[in-house]
């Protein structure tokens, strides 16, 4: 099928909920993607932070194929090996105690919210269910996680929404105190706000929030759907902030391109969700978990150091290009935001880069780059050369 035919077919039969770029993707290798006509694109997106091992990574392909052949699915009413091994690795590498596996980021956050409310209900009874989240955050597209998202623009159309969310300004402890009350059970944050524009929280602020949570027996819920699984140069971003969250959600990159998500819970939260309180048919799929194990094997400490080095290199090289449309860069590891200067439009810039063979994302007011974590220097340099040519 040609790109033109594919666009027409999609337009007719797939619900029109995405503002797509005019590019069809057919196959990929490393950090390179190709359309049906064979045109090449350097990928600075990883889907949206999903394909951390790039495309066609042989150990991943082999593990997925072998597990698909051996056992594709068994319900959670039975025991299977890959999710048990993946949960063990995640706990051992983070200091958390146990995992619940789900399928997507919003769904993982739903589980995290349910856990926080039940933790409080079990201990204090009704009336202590409010969760404070941050302005400019993004937590998902379900009726509840839309409300957890601290952006007014998402609180529309789908009334009535779930009650019990209040919002505080990021990096502002006084604002958090102002939202506090006897009815609060948890605080929920992204350590680097992703969709909001790649905005890292301050370390001192996060540590102060963690302390406040411990004092008031609020659960500290960290949404690492985008920052998790090596993206920021540590397995989870919280490891760079020196805190141990009560619950952490993960998704996007966890299985290197297959749909999987989950939450990691600390010891005190281990038994909050018991049989009959939380479940999902597809969760802990053995093929996805086998893929996730390859991701974990690949993301060694040395590999994670490389992620930091690559992120620093990309940011420094982008700033050195001194392009008229770009200001400063920000972020953590290979989660990079670029300021777009007044008079320029982020959508136009993205379209121009994509037209020239470099896939990029936007977020909040600027550009966002989430390259595959395995990206090579040669691939980064090729992307930078496209940036210079297209925007110089
Ligand atoms: C992408 C994202 C979500 C939503 O994940 P889905 O898999 O699209 O449901 C939630 N939180 C954060 C921080 C995200 O980046």
| Pair (325, 282) in one structural domain | no
Q: Which single residue is written with the structure tokens 């411990």?
A: 214
| Pair (43, 129) in one structural domain | no
Cα separation, 55 vs 240, in Å, equals 28
pLDDT (tens digit, 9 = 90+) per residue, 152-165?
A: 999 999 999 999 99
Cα separation, 140 vs 334, in Å, equals 22
In this prediction, residues 25-40 reach a mean pLDDT of 98
Question: Which one-letter DSSP state was computed for residue 270?
Answer: T
Q: Provide the phi-psi class of 10: left if phi over 0, else alpha when psi is between -120 and 50, else beta.
A: alpha
Cα separation, 379 vs 42, in Å, equals 7
CB neighbour list of residue 69: distance below 8 Å, 6 or more residues apart? none
| Pair (109, 72) in one structural domain | yes
CA 259, 261, 358, 15 dihedral sign is positive
DSSP 311-345: HHHHHHHHHHH--TTEEEEEEETTEEEEEEPTT--
The answer, yes or no, to whether any atom of ligand 1 lies below 6 A from the CB of 106, is yes
Atom of ligand 1 nearest to the CA of 261: 7
| Pair (211, 75) in one structural domain | yes
Confidence of residue 4 (pLDDT cuts 50, 70, 90): very high
Cα separation, 310 vs 54, in Å, equals 15
Atom of ligand 1 nearest to the CA of 106: 9
| Pair (250, 125) in one structural domain | yes
Q: Which of 252, 282, 364 to mutate to test the pocket of ligand 1 (most atoms within 8 A of CB)?
A: 252
pLDDT of residue 49: 98
User: How many residues are there in the chain?
Assistant: 392
Atom 15 of ligand 1, residue of closest alpha carbon = 226
b/e burial code for range 206-244 (CB count within 10 A of at least 16 → b): beebbebbeeebbbbbbbbbbbbbbbbbbbbbbbbbebe
pLDDT of residue 114: 98
| Pair (93, 213) in one structural domain | yes
b/e burial code for range 39-68 (CB count within 10 A of at least 16 → b): eebbbbbbbbbbbbbbbebeebeebbeebe
Ligand 1 midpoint to CA 390 (Å): 30
pLDDT (tens digit, 9 = 90+) per residue, 68-111?
A: 999 999 999 999 999 999 999 999 999 999 999 999 999 999 99
User: Domain boundary at 248, 283, 298, which?
Assistant: 298
**Where residue 305 sits, what CATH number does that domain have?**
3.90.1150.10
| Pair (70, 208) in one structural domain | yes
Q: Chain-wide mean pLDDT for the chain?
A: 98
CA angle 379, 385, 389 (to 5 degrees): 150
User: Domain boundary at 298, 323, 338, which?
Assistant: 298
| Pair (165, 178) in one structural domain | yes
Ligand 1 midpoint to CA 251 (Å): 7
Q: Which single residue is written with the structure tokens 């839309």?
A: 146
| Pair (292, 150) in one structural domain | yes
Atom of ligand 1 nearest to the CA of 223: 13
The answer, yes or no, to whether any atom of ligand 1 lies below 6 A from the CB of 105, is yes
pLDDT (tens digit, 9 = 90+) per residue, 108-151?
A: 999 999 999 999 999 999 999 999 999 999 999 999 999 999 99
Atom 11 of ligand 1, residue of closest alpha carbon = 139
pLDDT (tens digit, 9 = 90+) per residue, 38-61?
A: 999 999 999 999 999 999 999 999
Cα separation, 382 vs 356, in Å, equals 11
The answer, yes or no, to whether any atom of ligand 1 lies below 6 A from the CB of 139, is yes
pLDDT (tens digit, 9 = 90+) per residue, 203-259?
A: 999 999 999 999 999 999 999 999 999 999 999 999 999 999 999 999 999 999 999
Owning domain of residue 325: 3-52+301-391
pLDDT (tens digit, 9 = 90+) per residue, 197-207?
A: 999 999 999 99
Task: Tally the C-alpha atoms within 13 A of residue 87's C-alpha that lie toward its C-beta.
Answer: 20
Retrieve residue 360's tokens.
């990029």
Per the structure, how many domains does the chain have?
2
pLDDT (tens digit, 9 = 90+) per residue, 330-371?
A: 999 999 999 999 999 999 999 999 999 999 999 999 999 999
**Where residue 176 sits, what CATH number does that domain have?**
3.40.640.10
Ligand 1 midpoint to CA 392 (Å): 33
In this prediction, residues 275-303 reach a mean pLDDT of 98
In this prediction, residues 287-292 reach a mean pLDDT of 99
The answer, yes or no, to whether any atom of ligand 1 lies below 6 A from the CB of 370, is no
């Amino acid at each position: 099928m040609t790109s033109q035919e594919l666009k027409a077919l999609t337009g007719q039969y797939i619900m029109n909920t995405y503002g797509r770029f005019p590019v069809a993707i057919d196959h990929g290798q490393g950090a390179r993607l190709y359309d049906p006509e064979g045109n090449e694109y350097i990928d600075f997106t990883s889907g949206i932070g999903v394909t951390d091992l790039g495309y066609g990574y042989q150990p991943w392909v082999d593990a997925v194929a072998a597990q698909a052949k051996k056992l594709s699915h068994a319900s959670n009413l039975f025991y299977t090996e890959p999710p048990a091994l993946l949960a063990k690795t995640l706990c051992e590498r983070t200091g958390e105690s146990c995992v619940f596996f789900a399928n997507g980021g919003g769904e993982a956050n739903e589980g995290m919210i349910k856990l926080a409310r039940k933790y409080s209900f079990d201990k204090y009874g009704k009336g202590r269910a409010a969760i404070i989240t941050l302005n400019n955050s993004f937590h998902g597209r379900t009726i509840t996680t839309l409300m957890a998202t601290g952006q007014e623009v998402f609180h529309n159309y789908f009334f009535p929404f779930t009650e019990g969310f209040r919002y505080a300004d990021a990096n502002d402890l006084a604002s958090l105190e102002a939202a506090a009350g006897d009815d609060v059970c948890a605080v929920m944050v992204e350590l680097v706000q992703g969709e909001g524009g790649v905005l890292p929280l301050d370390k001192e602020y996060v540590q102060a929030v963690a302390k406040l949570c411990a004092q008031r027996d609020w659960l500290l819920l960290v949404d690492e759907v985008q920052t998790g699984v090596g993206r920021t140069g540590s397995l989870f971003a919280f490891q760079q902030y020196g805190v141990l969250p009560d619950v952490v959600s993960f998704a996007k990159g966890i299985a290197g391109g297959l749909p999987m998500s989950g939450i990691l819970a600390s010891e005190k939260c281990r038994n909050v969700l018991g049989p009959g309180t939380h479940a999902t048919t597809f969760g802990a799929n053995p093929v996805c978990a086998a893929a996730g194990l390859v991701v974990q094997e690949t993301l060694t400490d040395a590999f994670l150091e490389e992620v930091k080095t690559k992120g620093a290199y990309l940011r420094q090289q982008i700033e050195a290009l001194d392009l008229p449309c770009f200001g400063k860069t920000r972020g953590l590891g290979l989660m990079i935001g670029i300021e777009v200067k007044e008079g320029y439009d982020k959508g136009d810039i993205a379209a121009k880069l994509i037209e020239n063979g470099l896939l990029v994302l936007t977020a909040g007011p600027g550009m966002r780059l989430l390259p595959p974590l395995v990206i090579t220097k040669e691939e980064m340099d090729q992307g930078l050369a496209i940036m210079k040519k297209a925007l110089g």
